[in-house]
Amino acid sequence: MDIQLINVTPDSPGFAELKSQSMAEGFNMLRRLEDNWLSGQNRFDRPGEKLIGASVDGLIVGVCGLNVDPFTQAAGTGRLRHLYVDSGWRKRQVGSALLREILKDSVHWFDFINTNAPPSAFTFYERAGFVALTGIEKVTHHLCLRGSAR
């Protein structure tokens, strides 16, 4: 299995199918990603932001984005967004590969990364070094990058 990590947009081949699968599972993150992309509200184009996909044999099997966190005024805070992996590709390191790639070089832009994960993903994020938080609206997990050189 050769996973290629590539820049994607909602217009990328296979995105619509991945979005449909996510919605059938009750997740709306890829629908929101597409809506915000098409409206111009979020194009992942500010400094430090990116949107990547995992492709296997030309098929998009996962997506992950990183933004400046729009829900906090704290400078240097990023937000991991829209991480979704095709159900047939879970438990095959696709999510981990996406997460590693999205976080690579993020310390140049961010001191912290927040995410608002569904309960089914809590263990995944905690194994990746994120700390569970309570009492903060729209944040379930937080990763501190501050110890690294900026």
- pLDDT class for 94, splitting at 50, 70, 90? very high
Q: What pLDDT, on a 0 to 100 scale, did the predictor assign at position 57? A: 87
Compare 7 and 56 and report the one with higher pLDDT: 7
For residues 41-63, average pLDDT: 95
Residues in the chain: 150
Predicted confidence (pLDDT) per residue in 28-38, tens digit: 999 999 999 99
Percent of the chain past pLDDT 90, that is, above it, reads 89
Neighbours of 109 (CB within 10 A): 17
Average pLDDT value for the chain: 93
